[in-house]
Structure 1
Amino acid sequence: MVSKGTCWSACQPRESNRLQMYYLPEDVLYHIMSYLDYRALSRLSQVCKTIYHFANRDAVWKKIAKEFINTGITRQGKDLYPHIPLKDRVKVSQNWYHGICRKEVMLKWRINLLPWIQLDGDVLYLSQAADIGVYHLRPDRGRLQRSPMALFSGHQEDVCRFAVTDTHLVSGGSDGKILVHHRRNGFSVEYSGHNQEVNCLDCRGGLIVSGSRDRTARIWTLSSNFPRCTIPMNDRVWSVAISPTQSSFVTGTACCENFSPLRIWDVERCELLCCLGSEFRRGAGVLDIVYESPFHLFTCGYDTFIRSWDLRLSPRKCVMEWEEPHDSALYCIQTDGNHMIASGSSYYGVVRTWDKRQTRCLEMFQLSTAVSSPVYCLRFNTSHLYATLATTLHSLDFRQGPRPRRSHPLPQTAVGI
């Protein structure tokens, strides 16, 4: 009780004697915030300016971001987009998970093509017939400029595949040729060796591997336009991928012969290391291969499955698989390096997103309704997904929802009700 004559205010604890949260050491604050989910952390950041600035640091959000899809944090903890705040990426990740996006047709052309794309920061490379255009991305406008800022050409027929490195662009075409373009000065060198179309190629660290309809895979280097090695495949080669270690590569074939369509080869000795899988249907060719780490890769193709392979385990069986619900062939895939996979199907421009921690797809996006077309290629970053169909380039913007429909004006008699 307060004795008579004692001032009530004197009994109250002084503000300076209270332990404010922002007085705690930073390591203690990090430890406290590590127990919060993204909703609680967002609410905490609204307490005061000091907590706001501390709670917005990437180090606070990194643990949360690693559990969400497509935040740019890989399984190994590497940040692929350090220039974008992690808090913003976690927010956009919610739209990826729930399929909330705005669809745009960024580019159209009149004739049916088999376009391929690559992303390099804010630059998009797009093959159209025998040329590869370089476009600066303007996501806020929703479209590309009509004319490319650069053009790589030289093929006599359509470009089938191309790869982009820091210094070069390497393309393979239906004319059986491989062109190596220098990105800065535009100088190009022609590599000849295949006598039929080059269906696929990959380039890493000066090493080039190509696969062709002529049933061979060839190994090249940027320093010589003669193949270092030619490997008879006894089947058409649809896809290739070089390991991040550059010591081996994988080939995917049409599966028209009595052996596995997935095989791993030694780069130095040009010898077969192992075959992946043991039971493949005849004709279940592999159309795309993606390395996520030196021992982890993903494949897809005509048999409608996405498969995950761990090369540290038995090569006879994949560690996980995801089936396309509508029994469509899968033309292309890409992963975020952590939890998400995006796939492109063979009918009506269907793009699906998958969470590796579950077997059913997360969301489906149908990009074409009037005319059926495969998704020939797709690429994404943390905010956008780009996909090419036979006559269009599409964009899915996950930073915002779909455009609201225009509502019809109310009748004059209904105004004010």
Structure 2
Amino acid sequence: MKLVDVNMDCLLAIFSYCAEEDLINLCQANNFLRDVIDFHIFSNLTKDLLLCGHRNFNSAAVQRNHIGLRYWERLRVARNWMNGTYIECHYFHHKQMFPAKLYLESKFLYITYANHLRKYRRSGTEALHHRYDNEITTKTASDITDFVKKHNTIFAGRVCGSCFICSDINGCIDKGEEHKMHQALEYLYCVDFAEKDDLFVTGSDKCCKLWHRTVELEMSNFELIMKFQHGFKSLKLSNDGHWLYGGLYTDINRRAVRAINVVSGKDYILNSNTISVYDLKVKDENVIFTANFDTTFRMYDLRLDRDVGIWEDPFDSSLYCLEYDGLYGVLCGAKHHSRVNLYDIRVPGKYVQLYFPSRTRLHNSSSPVYSLTCDNRYLFVATDHNLRVFDFKVACGIQRDYSNIYTSTTYK
């Protein structure tokens, strides 16, 4: 009798005695056994994995994942994330230093360079195409500092205080409309919008403005609703569009995180003990993540009005940006050496792994990480001079294990 002829109960009893590596080998050997092991065993083991977990099929992961992974593949890829095993690739080298911004979808990666926003297609054989599909811009030559894409709408802000809005429908991008929203002497840092309510927000080093958008004859008009004298470095609207959360570039009282009620306009000082916020993400209606100048990544709970989790950078470096996987994993980009830290919000006070890009003849990797994004297989890191892409779904990757920097580093 062949193993595939055994009934399901007996198969599962046999598999309960097998080691994990043996089960993975069986998955690769036979399609029927693969489906049985994948569904009945590995599906439960992989629900809460960092960056590869699938509990509730969180929307953040589903939106960004380029290729669907089977459960046994998720387990292997998650192991590579945890022990630092990957292959590194370099894209889009440019001599002029520029702090690029990234946005990732399942089929495309959007990246800024100078006054352009470029859209690159993701292929099945490699992380990205080397030629862009579209170059999105307007006549204004000022650099793009921040942009947001939600569904089919792209909203981008420039250094000079102007913003442009365009539609990306089925790969067809319209020309875009330019609107002057801040004075030329202001430095526009950040933008966001709530597509459902046509509510847009812009933040500069001088003030923050709330706008309501109306469309007539296919032309947009932005009406100023509120103005706040806050120099936000980063800001985000809540998922329901009722709250605006912002991080000040500096606050001498170490209360740099603020919340603004969009309906009433009331401003709240949140009890997060940080002097400057470089990046901010909204986890859900109760929790905010911040990457801070004071070398910490913080998790703030609105219900308790305090930081419920604080993770310090192991090298006392400021954290410039962060990305959330939708479940338990948070990636933070550091100021020095293009380093990325992986944190598990279930594990208090300690990082899980560190990722250091390799040094090259053209670039010594001393750049900050200006923006990062990821799916369950790839990590995209924007530096001064290029884009670094780490591929964790590899069997021949190089292991760079920095999970404990106080012991000897392992290379394989």
Q: Classify the TM-score, shorter chain.
A: 0.7 to 0.9
Q: Measure how far apart 1:117 and its partner are.
A: 0.9
Contact kept, 8 Å, 1:305 with 1:321, in 2: the verdict is yes
Contact kept, 8 Å, 1:308 with 1:321, in 2: the verdict is yes
Instruction: Give identity over the alignment, percent.
Output: 21
Which structure's relative contact order is higher, taking Cα pairs within 8 Å and 6+ residues apart? 2
Structure 1 letter corresponding to 2:147: F
Q: Measure how far apart 1:364 and its partner are.
A: 1.8
Q: Decide which of 148, 151, 173 is 2:158's aligned counterpart.
A: 173
1:314 to 2:296 alignment: no
For residues 240 and 61 of structure 1, do their structure 2 counterparts lie closer, same or farther at Cα, with a shift above 3 Å needed? same
1:150 to 2:110 alignment: no
Report what 1:366 is aligned to: 356
For residues 222 and 180 of structure 1, do their structure 2 counterparts lie closer, same or farther at Cα, with a shift above 3 Å needed? farther
Report what 1:229 is aligned to: 225
Q: Measure how far apart 1:72 and its partner are.
A: 4.4
Mapping for residues 348-359 of structure 1, pairs under 5 Å: 348-358=337-347, 359=349
1:245 to 2:240 alignment: yes
Report what 1:346 is aligned to: 335
For residues 60 and 229 of structure 1, do their structure 2 counterparts lie closer, same or farther at Cα, with a shift above 3 Å needed? farther
Q: Measure how far apart 1:267 and its partner are.
A: 1.9
Unmatched tracts of structure 1, length 5 or more:
1-14, 405-417
Corresponding residue SS for 1:89: helix
Contact kept, 8 Å, 2:272 with 2:307, in 1: the verdict is no
For residues 115 and 45 of structure 1, do their structure 2 counterparts lie closer, same or farther at Cα, with a shift above 3 Å needed? closer
CA deviation string 1:63-120 (max 9, x = no partner): 3212311114257866725943232222211100111001111120110111111111
Normalising by structure 1, report the TM-score. Answer: 0.80
Structure 2 letter corresponding to 1:69: L
CA deviation string 1:310-349 (max 9, x = no partner): 22x321x211111011111111001111221111111121
Report what 1:413 is aligned to: none
Q: Measure how far apart 1:276 and its partner are.
A: 2.1
Structure 2 letter corresponding to 1:124: L
Structure 2 letter corresponding to 1:176: G
Contact kept, 8 Å, 1:309 with 1:320, in 2: the verdict is yes
Query: Which shows bigger deviation, 147-156 or 39-48?
Result: 39-48
Q: Measure how far apart 1:32 and its partner are.
A: 10
Query: Which shows bigger deviation, 249-258 or 320-329?
Result: 249-258
For residues 76 and 318 of structure 1, do their structure 2 counterparts lie closer, same or farther at Cα, with a shift above 3 Å needed? farther
Report what 2:388 is aligned to: 394
Contact kept, 8 Å, 1:126 with 1:133, in 2: the verdict is yes
RMSD of aligned Cα (Å): 3.2
Corresponding residue SS for 2:283: strand
2: CA distance between counterparts of 1:202 and 1:30? 50
Q: Decide which of 47, 67, 76 is 2:48's aligned counterpart.
A: 67
Report what 1:385 is aligned to: 379
Structure 2 letter corresponding to 1:305: T
For residues 152 and 69 of structure 1, do their structure 2 counterparts lie closer, same or farther at Cα, with a shift above 3 Å needed? same
Mapping for residues 8-407 of structure 1, pairs under 5 Å: 22-24=7-9, 42=24, 50-57=32-39, 60-74=41-55, 80=62, 81=65, 83-138=68-123, 140-141=125-126, 144-145=129-130, 147-154=131-138, 155-183=140-168, 184-195=172-183, 196-205=186-195, 206-221=198-213, 223=215, 224-233=220-229, 235-258=230-253, 260-272=255-267, 274-280=268-274, 284-311=275-302, 313-315=303-305, 317-358=306-347, 359-367=349-357, 369=359, 370=364, 372-400=366-394, 401-402=396-397
1: CA distance between counterparts of 2:248 and 2:213? 23
> How many residue pairs align between the two structures?
377
Structure 2 letter corresponding to 1:381: D
Q: Measure how far apart 1:33 and its partner are.
A: 8.2
Contact kept, 8 Å, 1:163 with 1:169, in 2: the verdict is yes
For residues 65 and 403 of structure 1, do their structure 2 counterparts lie closer, same or farther at Cα, with a shift above 3 Å needed? closer
Contact kept, 8 Å, 1:375 with 1:387, in 2: the verdict is yes
Q: Measure how far apart 1:375 and its partner are.
A: 0.5
Contact kept, 8 Å, 1:217 with 1:232, in 2: the verdict is yes
Corresponding residue SS for 1:109: coil
Contact kept, 8 Å, 1:22 with 1:50, in 2: the verdict is no
For residues 347 and 328 of structure 1, do their structure 2 counterparts lie closer, same or farther at Cα, with a shift above 3 Å needed? same
CA deviation string 1:271-310 (max 9, x = no partner): 22x3322533xxx311111122222221112111101122
Q: Measure how far apart 1:231 and its partner are.
A: 2.7
Query: Which shows bigger deviation, 73-82 or 348-357?
Result: 73-82
Corresponding residue SS for 2:7: helix
Unmatched tracts of structure 2, length 5 or more:
400-412
Corresponding residue SS for 1:319: strand
Contact kept, 8 Å, 1:107 with 1:144, in 2: the verdict is no
2: CA distance between counterparts of 1:387 and 1:180? 25
CA deviation string 1:131-163 (max 9, x = no partner): 111111236346631x32101112331000001
Structure 2 letter corresponding to 1:242: L
For residues 46 and 398 of structure 1, do their structure 2 counterparts lie closer, same or farther at Cα, with a shift above 3 Å needed? closer
Corresponding residue SS for 1:56: helix
2: CA distance between counterparts of 1:237 and 1:41? 51
